[in-house]
Structures are given as C-alpha cells and as structure tokens.
Amino acid sequence: MKVLLLCSFFIIFVACVAEQKNLQSKQDSITTQKNPFISTKELENKEKEEESQTQKEFKKQLKEKVSEYKKKCDKKDGVYCLKLASAYEILNEKSDIEIKEIHKKAFEYNTNDCENGDMNACVGLGSAFESGEVVKKDLQKAKELYKKSCDNKLALGCLNLGLLLSDCTACNEDSKSKKEALPFFIKACEYGNNNACAIINKNIK
C-alpha cells in the first residue's frame, strides 16, 4: 500500500519521466541507425545510467517533500503521516522503530478522520488493516474501508479494493478473482486513476 500511495503522489513526475524516456528512445534509435557499430553493452550501460539518474531525481524530489509531510503529520493529518513514513523508509532516514511510531500516529489520526467523513483517511486506515503493521491484520475490514471510499468516488479506494480482491497479479483475465476485481478497476479508471486504466488495458483484450 505504501507503493500505491507514493505512486499517486508522484504520478505527474513519473509521467514526465516516461515521456522523456520515450523521446530519448527515439533519439537513440536514430543514433543507432547512423552508427550501427554501437555495441549492446554500450546501450545497456546507457540504460543503467538513465535508470540511476531517474531514481536519484525521484529521491531528490521526495526529500524536498519531507518537510511538508512532517508539518501536516504534526497537525494530525494521518494521510500525510503515511506519506512521511513511506518517504523516510525509501530515503533510509529513520529507524524501523521510528517509522513504526509514525504509522501508529497515522492509524490514530486516520481512524478519527475516517469516522468524520474523510475518504482519503479511510483508504489509509484500510491499508493499515491490510498490512497488519500496527494493528491486527483484518482483510475484511480493509475491504469495507476501501469500498466505503470507492462508493464515495475516491479512485484510490476503488483501486485498492480491486487489488485486494484480485489477490494476485499473475491470474489470467478469466479467473474468478479478476472478474470480482474488474468493476472496481473500471470505477477507479473512470475516477481518474491511471494505474487502474493500465490494469484494465493489460487484462482486457
């Protein structure tokens, strides 16, 4: 769930990187046609360098967001506490114990905010019950919370429910789990989640 949250926070950045890579790929193709003696090894090294640079840029932008996440977490915003915990984990800036404490705060704040109608908080709460990191794992409770947010037209809630129902990424499109999950992926896509649209395109021929 951490990954899903971060994907949604940086989807614009990822899209820009993808477009940049697409343009670079076209340029590389032209270069290779002009110089057919470029070795496969050279191309592989170039790809590794670009991938490393992308990761560095992602971490740089994430690091710049940490201060904002912390301020909002300190104001008892559970969603931003989850973002903060995930950022610290990726950047290796805090110990496991410190990160777990932030997750505990997130659970407390999200519980209160979800009860007061914040659907993003309900998704955060659902992820806590799904992962079982700070509370006893309860997949049924996670499904209920995701569905609550999905019913209120929050795309991430629909996506998370679809992923939880499908229970696997390798199932073929005719499997029961995929069929149960599909309506929620469709809703998530309709509500603007690009990851859900990609899942639909991949599994519907």
Task: Give the contacts of 61 (CB within 8 A, at least 6 positions apart).
Answer: 10, 13
Residue 118 has phi, psi (to 5 degrees) of: -85, 105
Q: Tell me: the pLDDT tens digits for 95-107?
A: 999 999 999 999 9
Cβ burial 31-55 (10 Å sphere, 16+ → b, else e): eeeeeeeeeeeeeeeeeeebeeebe
Confidence of residue 13 (pLDDT cuts 50, 70, 90): very low
Between 78-91 and 2-9, two packed helices, what is the crossing angle to 10 degrees? 100
Residue 175 has pLDDT above 90, yes or no: no
**137-159 pLDDT tens trace:** 999 999 999 999 999 999 999 99
Residue 204 has what pLDDT? 66
Split at pLDDT 50, 70, 90, the class of 45 is low
Per-residue tokens: 43: 């191309």
- Identify the pLDDT of residue 53: 79
Least confident window among 43-47, 91-95, 144-148 = 43-47
Q: What's residue 63's pLDDT? A: 92
> How many angstroms separate the CA atoms of 94 and 145, rounded?
29
Which tops the pLDDT comparison, 12 or 181? Answer: 181
Helix 11-34 / helix 2-9 crossing angle, nearest 10 deg: 80
